[in-house]
Amino acid sequence: MSVVPRPTRRSVVCVPIELNHTIVSAHDAETSARWLAELFGLDEPVHWGHFWQIETANRVGLDFASAGDAEIAPIHYAFLIADDEFDAIYGRIVERRMEHWADPQRRHPGEIYHHFGGRGVYFLSNDGHFLEVMTRPYDMG
């Protein structure tokens, strides 16, 4: 019987933890991926297996998967964007007359927020996910 040596700290490769991708439930994956890519001004989604993927600037994949007629549990997705991207995305939200709010409780309809010297807004995706775009990250410290 051979003994496998126990790894030492020097032999373990440390990789920082990064989010690589997440699955986004959609009634129709292609339609929803195209909806978000167009709203955000991103590249066309890529079809891979049964997913339609959009990749963000920090290389996180949003893998849209069709749920068909099944009920979709809404999830909150927050996106950190530049000021000029905010102008473009918010402009499309207003142009499309999409409901939007300055707060997650939806008490300030038709408004944006100004946290930490930036701007942000909440709105719903075509599948009912609660989306947020913001120009400054939350200051947790």
CA atoms of 133 and 90, how far apart (whole Å) = 9
Residue 14 binned pLDDT confidence (cut-offs 50, 70, 90): confident
Q: What is the mean pLDDT of residues 92-114?
A: 98
Query: Which domains are assigned to the chain?
Result: 20-67 (3.30.720.120), 74-141 (3.10.180.10)
Closest CA to 56 of 81, 30, 35: 81
The string of pLDDT tens digits covering residues 29-83 is 999 999 999 999 999 999 999 999 999 999 999 999 999 899 999 999 999 999 9
Q: What is the mean pLDDT of residues 86-99?
A: 98
More confident: 104 or 12: 104
More confident: 132 or 140: 132
The string of pLDDT tens digits covering residues 125-134 is 999 999 999 9
pLDDT of residue 97: 98
User: What's the predicted TM-score (pTM) here?
Assistant: 0.87
CA atoms of 95 and 111, how far apart (whole Å) = 14
Say which residues have a Cβ less than 8 Å from residue 23's Cβ, sequence separation at least 6: 51, 63, 64, 65
pLDDT of residue 2: 54
> What does the angle CA 114 – CA 39 – CA 58 come to, to the nearest 5 degrees?
75
Q: Where are the alpha helices (DSSP H) in the chain?
A: 29-40, 83-95
Q: Assess whether pLDDT exceeds 70 at residue 119.
A: yes
CA atoms of 12 and 72, how far apart (whole Å) = 40
User: How are beta strands 120-124 and 100-101 bridged, if at all?
Assistant: antiparallel
pLDDT of residue 11: 59
